[in-house]
Structure 1
């Protein structure tokens, strides 16, 4: 085997190795981006759940206060007036 043939085979092997490494790196980067986006979705879902629970708690508190006020004072609705 000649030196030129060995160099050509080495160049081919290096090119194949570099290509494989590049493909793996791109795939790895895409997986990382996908995981990052997925974690963002989970955080958004958790924030929405917390906001919903807070609104529900505020509604319950408002209803509780209304019940107390209605016991203490007479409440008229708009259609009973006048």
Structure 2
């Protein structure tokens, strides 16, 4: 095998291996980023649910207080 053929084979092999390694790490990073997005979405849904429960509790307390206290609307 000539020197040029060996050099071409080496360069082609190096390019192929480096491409495979790059794609592997790119996929691994993309998967990690997507997983982080899912975790962030779950946390946001949890916070939203907690806020909704707080809102409903405040509304129930308001209704209780309205029954007990004499509150007038400021409209009229």
**Root-mean-square deviation over aligned CA pairs:** 1.4
Which stretches of structure 1, 4 residues or longer, exceed 4 Å deviation after superposition? Answer: none
Distance 2:53 2:14 in 1: 58
Deviation for aligned residue 1:65 = 1.0
Query: 1:46-68 CA distances to partner (integer Å, 9 max, x unpaired)?
Result: 11111001000001101111111
1:13-71 alpha-carbon deviations (Å, 9 max, x no partner): 11111000001111111112111111111111111111001000001101111111222
- Equivalent position of 1:76 in the other structure: none
TM-score, scaled to structure 1? 0.76
Q: Give the one of 39, 54, 63 matched to 1:57.
A: 54
Could you list the runs of 5+ residues in structure 2 that have no partner in the other structure? Answer: 71-76
TM-score by length of 2: 0.81
The higher radius of gyration belongs to: 1
How do 1:1-82 residues align onto structure 2 when only pairs under 5 Å count? 5-72=2-69
Query: How many aligned positions are there?
Result: 70
